[in-house]
Amino acid sequence: MVFPERGLSAREALLVLQDGSFFSGRHFGSEKTAVGELVFNTSMTGYQEALTDPSYAGQVLTFAYPLQGNYGINEKDSESRKIHVEAVVCRESSPFYSHYSSKETLSEWLHAQHVPGIDGVDTRSIVSKVRERGVMPCAVAVRDERIPVEEHVAGLLEKVNSFAYSNLDFVPLVSPKKAERFSVKGAKKKVAFVDCGAKASMLNELLKRKLDVTVFPYDASAKEILKEGVDGVVFSNGPGDPARMKGTVETARALLGKKPVFGICLGHQVLALALGGKTYKLKFGHRGSNHAVRNVETGKVFITSQNHGYAVKDLPSSVKPLFENCNDGTNEGLRHRELPVFSCQFHPEGSCGPKDSNYLFDEFVKLL
């Protein structure tokens, strides 16, 4: 068991919500003040993967599972080069870790990447509030003991009220700036991977299947993609409102019928819009690794990893639903009735798990 030299701070921290309520807890990580959209994740493990998922850009992540950081932070489980959440909220952040591969504590990692955290708060109450009232802007800050708490809360509330998640474009911040090629020995097919804020595990699943992959930024045109001579196209996950991604939607529309297309999470929403469907914001989204979905073609149920705040509706007659959420009945995937086009709202790479729907990458390969 490893005990780090620096544990958690004894300083008080505040979580201030847009409805005027606030929670007092203990600070850990960075001492900066953060503002973002308050959401929650129901996973029992995988905090490192979640915090480095670009889909969380602009959000303050509350973990419903009470203990976080107990197995530390290692060098291989991150899904991108940095933490993307604005702040972390949990019941208890462990000041030590006990895994052989870990190099630092959760608090040390957050501190190094300038991300604040607050623990010692009633996360059950926070999750219940978000479920009842929906996601909302919030702020996390170290308590300024020089001023009355009510005054500090009022100052943070001003920052909170000036934040509007749906009005911001997060995809340009997390998508690569230029195309990059990844080759594997023995590859017989080549695919384009439109990175709207992708998890590294998605790229790895494609490479595992002996595919050469060219990663394109979110604003790549259909002409640029087809010029690469690819056999198929994947649109990745990512943050923000899909309705703001008009250029990416147009690219997807231009590729329909030309190449097989597979959309994942935000990519699913982009495809739905390209095909004539609509998207809307969910009250509190689906975030966690324990969401059940049903394949409407076979009736089989899968446990999936999810991270999204928007959903698809009003699909045109040219496509049929492929999956549905077992909890609220929302659409979780589509398949075109004639073209080699399909998608899923969840994360089939399942990092850190589960792997139930991993077979969808094989289904895509069969279309190439």
49, 84, 347, 352: the active-site residue: 347
**End-to-end Cα distance, the chain:** 49
Residues paired with 15 in a beta bridge: 23, 140
Residue indicated by tokens 């008080």: 12
Is 349 an active-site residue?
Answer: yes
Of 85, 78, 90, nearest to 123 by C-alpha is 90
Report the distance separating Cα 149 and Cα 14, nearest Å. Answer: 9
Encoded tokens for 224:
């640029």
- Inter-CA distances, 148 with 118, 143, 153, 368, Å: 19, 10, 9, 64
3-class secondary-structure state, position 333: strand
Residue indicated by tokens 């289904």: 363
Encoded tokens for 149:
């708490």
Report the distance separating Cα 347 and Cα 54, nearest Å. Answer: 13
49, 104, 108, 349: the active-site residue: 349
265, 268, 344, 352: the active-site residue: 265
Catalytic residues: 265, 347, 349
